[in-house]
Amino acid sequence: MNLNILQGKAKDGGELLILKGELDAYTAPKLKETLLELVDIEGASVTLDLSDTNYMDSTGIGVIIAAYKKVCKNNGTLIVQGLTPRVERLFDITGLSDIITIEDINKEETR
């Protein structure tokens, strides 16, 4: 399956990555490359929009964890938004929802 990564600006002025498709062992390296570069700056601010990510497995979680660790080191922020119920459950189980900022987004607003 495929993953499309669209890059833009978030409302807070930081970087925005919109992930469309499936985030799994095959597509995770693509996100890893883009995302880790974005967060590798002092004070980086990155938002991941997952509203159109219809599947994510543990490899995807791994990439987000790696990005989170980098952000912590660089005093930056990592925000995740638009979690589908399946992905939200994955964030809950793995404990990521405790430490990563998750924002709701109003679907209407983005359209």
Partner 1 sequence: MIDQEQMYERYKRLLAEYMEGKNEETLYNGQLFSRHMIECGVSPEDVLSVHIEIMREFFPNMDERLESSFDFLLEAMIGYGLAYREHQNLRFKQRQLETEIDIAANVQQSLLVSAVPEIDSLDIGVISKPAKKMSGDYYHFVRDEQNFLSIAIADVIGKGIPAAMCMSMIKYAMDSEPEQRTKPSAVLENLNRVVEQNVDPSMFITMFYGLYNEKEHRLYYASAGHEPGFFYSSQKDRFEELTAKGRVLGLDRSTKYREYEKLIMPGDMIVLLSDGVTECRTKKGFIERGEVVDLIRKRMDRSAQEIVDSVYKELERLQEFQLRDDFTLIILKRRV
Helix (H) or strand (E) holding 49: strand 45-49
Per-residue tokens: 107: 């679907």
Q: From the CB of 58, what's the least distance to partner 1, in Å? A: 5
Residue among 32 and 105 whose Cβ is closer to partner 1:
32
By CB under 8 A, name the binding residues for partner 1.
Answer: 25, 32, 57-59, 61-63, 65-66, 68-70, 92-96, 98-99
C-alpha span between 84 and 87 (Å, rounded)? 5
Q: From the CB of 106, what's the least distance to partner 1, in Å? A: 27
Q: From the CB of 107, what's the least distance to partner 1, in Å? A: 22
Computed on alpha carbons and rounded to an integer, the radius of gyration of the chain in Å comes to 13
In 3D, which of 54, 52, 62 has the Cα closest to residue 18?
A: 52
Residue among 88 and 105 whose Cβ is closer to partner 1:
88
